Homo-oligomer: A and B are copies of this chain.
Amino acid sequence: MSTETEPRWRRLEPDQRREQILDCAIRLFGERPYAEVSTTDIAREAGVARGLINHYFGSKRGLYLEVVRRMVTVPVADRSAVPDGPLAERVEFSVDWLLDVISARGKTWVAVLGTEGVGNDPEVERILAEADEMAAENLVRTVGMRDVEPAGAELRAIVRAFGGMVKAAGREWITHGTLTREQVQLVLTEQLTTLLGETFPHVQRL
């Protein structure tokens, strides 16, 4: 008989194992609501003992927060490619880039933005708020509103509000198919142009 013994499990680098578990968790949390995904399910999916999840993420909640954090992270725009024309053109470019990002994320993206409903988790809310803030900041810089720096706080708040429309429009396009990309592009471009070019100055004058 052979002394060659197949190891019952492989010992991975902490980072690898963490990543693997996280991937499975992302998949499962994307399919079912939080309460209906047990750590046992995740452990089975990852082919791992349940206790290992606690070892790496502390608790189920900790793992969940990691998942949210991961899915909500948005890449930063390459600002060197932004045209140097009038506001409308810069806005159009930015919106186009935004829709590219959304398109690339596709199903994963909508899983994040699907409304959860009652029962706010302050921690989750904080993560989401930070992501919104970064997205708004990013958008403002990309369209290059350098001349309104002193009113930055108000501007960012308004752009964050606009972000709500971006998400909703994205859902109409990606998940419901009730709007085409061209339609969304047109709507968001015109809206944002008006918002930055006309409405915002009016708001400042209030």
Name the distance in Å between A164's Cβ and chain B's nearest Cβ. Answer: 3
Name the distance in Å between A122's Cβ and chain B's nearest Cβ. Answer: 8
Q: A117 CA to B32 CA in the complex, in Å?
A: 12
Q: Mark A69-92, 1 if CB is under 8 A from B, else 0.
A: 001000000000000000000000
CB pair A162–B161 under 8 Å, yes or no, is: no
Majority-rule SS of A interface residues: helix
CB pair B191–A195 under 8 Å, yes or no, is: yes
State which residues 141-192 of A face B: CB under 8 Å.
Answer: 153-154, 157-158, 160-169, 172, 176, 178-180, 182-184, 186-187, 190-191
CB pair A119–B168 under 8 Å, yes or no, is: no
Question: How many A residues touch B, CB cutoff 8 Å?
Answer: 61
CB pair B179–A157 under 8 Å, yes or no, is: yes
State which residues 97-115 of A face B: CB under 8 Å.
Answer: 111-115
Partner pick for A194 among B117, B168, B172, B191, CB 8 A cutoff: B191
- Given contacts A117-B124, A124-B116, A199-B187, whether A61 and B34 have CB atoms under 8 Å apart is no
CB pair B168–A160 under 8 Å, yes or no, is: yes
- Given contacts A191-B194, A195-B187, whether A119 and B203 have CB atoms under 8 Å apart is no
Set of chain B residues within 8 Å of A61, measured between Cβ atoms: 35
- Asked whether any CB of chain B lies closer than 8 Å to the CB of A37, the reply is yes
Q: A127 CA to B117 CA in the complex, in Å?
A: 10
Set of chain B residues within 8 Å of A124, measured between Cβ atoms: 33, 115-117
A-B contact pairs, 6 of them (CB 8 A): A37-B119, A117-B121, A161-B187, A162-B165, A163-B168, A164-B165
